[in-house]
Structure 1
Amino acid sequence: MEKVNQEKEKKRAMRMDFIQEVVSSRKCKDGTTEFVMKWTPNPKRYDFIEIDGEVAFKDRFTGIVIHESALKNIKMMHGAPIFYSPPKQPDYCSYLKGRKAELLGHWDEKYPLMDTQRPFDGFLSKLRGKDTQIVILYVDMEGSTRISSEVDPETNLKIIKIFLMQMAKVIDNFRGYVLKFVGDCAIGIFPADENFTSMSDNAIQAAMIMRSVVEDVINTVFVEKRLPPIGCHIGLDIGSVRVDKVGALDVAAFDDLIGYSMNLTAKIQSHAGHEEILLGRNLFELLHCRWQEHCEKVDLGQTWTMKEPLSGCTYEVYRFLGKWVCKCWDK
């Protein structure tokens, strides 16, 4: 068992943040551009220390120490592709304004939805029976029970559909996929086998913008339409899951994601308070330092019983305090 745990630990993803400087570049015959880069460990994240006469870098956020000799492996990356997956709309103020204009412009519509195949279905079928690394995001609507008792069924349905639609659009904007909807909860995933750094950062930004969409888009429109405001609870983490078909023969069957990480993220989300974003330690360690700066460790008390699979210790959870404030609503 100890050997198995050690092997899993070796495969665990680890992130380093660098300050990148272009030293030179040249155009290649195939039309691409080749860059020669100088990478320096980001001083905002690392303290430079010395261990047994060797320079090392200590991560201020995770405590992980990386020896300078380990960075020699970077030389082996010559010619390897660098993955980068920016949001489809990186201007968040424009994104929020667009969502609000769309919501107001289509307010009187019934929000018809066609029964079409999800773009994600093909991705799932290719991975069936395999383990894959993903960032998981759960977001649900706060106040749904209260609202259902205050408005008529038609209005209640419209509120839920608006919430889920807006959350789905945020997931899509940050290169994620909507796995499914469960009641008033949307489950998003961000494939991270090859690009866990960008997808980790995308997921935490998606959570941040979800909160802004609820506060600055949905609720401002609801106030204008004399509807009760809503809230949200968000939970995130990263981990390995198995893609497989579940169900019963001749009854119902579909591809789904199964694994401890799915259950763990659901538990994390269930402990989130009003407009709160909680994330697990595995995801925290893979965030860029500019996002880690906005995180704080939280004590969930005796009600939190989830364990770290390798060590058996209580699994650490963090609160994300970052908030996007759009200062140009009236422009």
Structure 2
Amino acid sequence: MFLTSTWAVRKFGIYNRRYMKPKFDKRPKKFYKRRDNRPDRRLQQKDTFPRIVEEIQTLFAGTKTRVLGSLEKKVQPSTDAETSDVFLREHVGSSLKLVVLYADLVGSTLMTRNLSVDKLATIIQIFIQEMSFVVASSGGKVLKFVGDAIIAYFPIDVNYSPSCNAAIDCSYSMIIMIEKAINPVISVHGYDGLRLKVGIDTGEHSVIQYVIGEKSYLDILGYGVSMAAKLSSLAKSDEVIISHAISTGMRSSLRKTFCELELDPRIWKYIDDRFQPGVWKSHP
């Protein structure tokens, strides 16, 4: 009967199963279990929301203190809009590539009916103040406030992907900040919780300066800022709607938190195969 030699096993990997067993059969059992026990990388991937919560937890204490001070009229609300004016003045008359974020407060019309003028003003001031801090901490700049909405922008350098990522992180941070830091404080004082909806788009924008009376104002004009406002109108409470350009520019980990939003072309007339083939919405 033929017996395979040890040399043949080493050289050609062949052996007689009846009389010889390969050396790798004698490896410890933990070797075989190594792959089974190895954690699934898909399960190791953390959700975007928990990651952002961890990053902005350091801001929670300051936010709660400011909100409480505003409710008790101990702190004068403040914003960080000066840095935007300085930036825009340096680029008056020029074109800039920007990622624009439009954050709108949900249910503000009902608040005007249910709250007194003073209480409504306090809530709007708190909202504008704290969202401005979130924008600044995310690397963005506050353009202006439109009633109960805030418009922010993120300048684009050579690669627009970092600005897309920063804008989306900022929108998630806004939602989490309201839920974790603002609502717990204002609810104790008898206010209903705030909710937010966000639209984000990008494009070329012109920086303009105009004068009313004796004061000059700075603003931006472009497709991105117009579409960001329209995209926010599609969002539900605590939802972020982004354009096709933003979805292609953001990092893959963020892309997993979005899905395409089905729209009726008879209602939404801004779908274009070349410039805007679709829009995407955030999902838990």
TM-score of the alignment, normalized to the shorter chain, above 0.5: yes
Partner in structure 2 of residue 305 of structure 1: 269
Relative distance call for 1:185 and 1:207 in structure 2 (3 A) is same
More displaced, 108-117 or 289-298?
108-117
Provide the TM-score with structure 2 as the length reference.
0.74
Distance 1:222 1:296 in 2: 33
Tell me how many residue pairs correspond in the alignment. 233
* Displacement of 1:95: 2.3
Distance 2:85 2:277 in 1: 32
- Unpaired segments ≥5 residues, structure 2: 1-41, 43-52
Q: Within the alignment, does 1:142 sit opposite 2:127 as a pair?
A: no
Partner in structure 1 of residue 5 of structure 2: none
Q: Within the alignment, does 1:118 sit opposite 2:82 as a pair?
A: yes
Partner in structure 2 of residue 184 of structure 1: 148
Q: Which has the higher strand share?
A: 1
Distance 2:194 2:73 in 1: 21
Alignment of structure 1 residues 38-187 onto 2, 5 Å: 91-105=55-69, 107-109=71-73, 111-112=75-76, 118-187=82-151
Partner in structure 2 of residue 62 of structure 1: none
Equivalent residue of 1:303, what SS? coil
**1:162-190: CA deviations, max 9, x gaps?**
11111111101001100000101100001
Partner in structure 1 of residue 229 of structure 2: 266
Distance 2:66 2:74 in 1: 14
Relative distance call for 1:253 and 1:110 in structure 2 (3 A) is same
Equivalent residue of 1:165, what SS? helix
Equivalent residue of 1:169, what SS? helix
Equivalent residue of 1:91, what SS? helix
Partner in structure 2 of residue 257 of structure 1: 220
State the AA in 2 paired with 1:119.
T
> Rg: which structure is higher?
2
Contact 2:79 2:132 (8 Å CA) reproduced: no
Partner in structure 1 of residue 182 of structure 2: 218
State the AA in 2 paired with 1:190.
F
* Displacement of 1:193: 2.5
**1:274-299: CA deviations, max 9, x gaps?**
11111111011110101011110001
More displaced, 117-126 or 103-112?
103-112
State the AA in 1 paired with 2:106.
E
Distance 1:159 1:135 in 2: 27
* Displacement of 1:92: 2.0
Equivalent of residue 157 in structure 2, options 183, 189, 193: 193
Contact 1:100 1:218 (8 Å CA) reproduced: yes
Distance 1:303 1:235 in 2: 18
Relative distance call for 1:110 and 1:138 in structure 2 (3 A) is farther
Distance 1:276 1:319 in 2: 7
Relative distance call for 1:306 and 1:117 in structure 2 (3 A) is closer
Partner in structure 2 of residue 231 of structure 1: 195
State the AA in 2 paired with 1:293.
K
**1:286-313: CA deviations, max 9, x gaps?**
10101011110001323211144x836x
Runs of 4 or more above 4 Å deviation: 113-117, 250-253
Relative distance call for 1:114 and 1:295 in structure 2 (3 A) is closer
Distance 1:106 1:115 in 2: 13
Equivalent of residue 240 in structure 2, options 271, 277, 284: 277
Distance 1:227 1:270 in 2: 24
State the AA in 1 paired with 2:255.
Q
Contact 1:147 1:228 (8 Å CA) reproduced: no
Q: Within the alignment, does 1:319 sit opposite 2:278 as a pair?
A: no
Distance 2:191 2:174 in 1: 19
Relative distance call for 1:122 and 1:142 in structure 2 (3 A) is same
* Displacement of 1:155: 0.7
Q: Within the alignment, does 1:295 sit opposite 2:272 as a pair?
A: no
Q: Which has the higher helix share?
A: 2
**1:238-274: CA deviations, max 9, x gaps?**
21111122456x5764221111121111111111111
State the AA in 1 paired with 2:239.
E
State the AA in 1 paired with 2:144.
K
- Unpaired segments ≥5 residues, structure 1: 1-43, 45-88, 323-331
**1:221-244: CA deviations, max 9, x gaps?**
122111122211111112111112
Relative distance call for 1:103 and 1:244 in structure 2 (3 A) is same
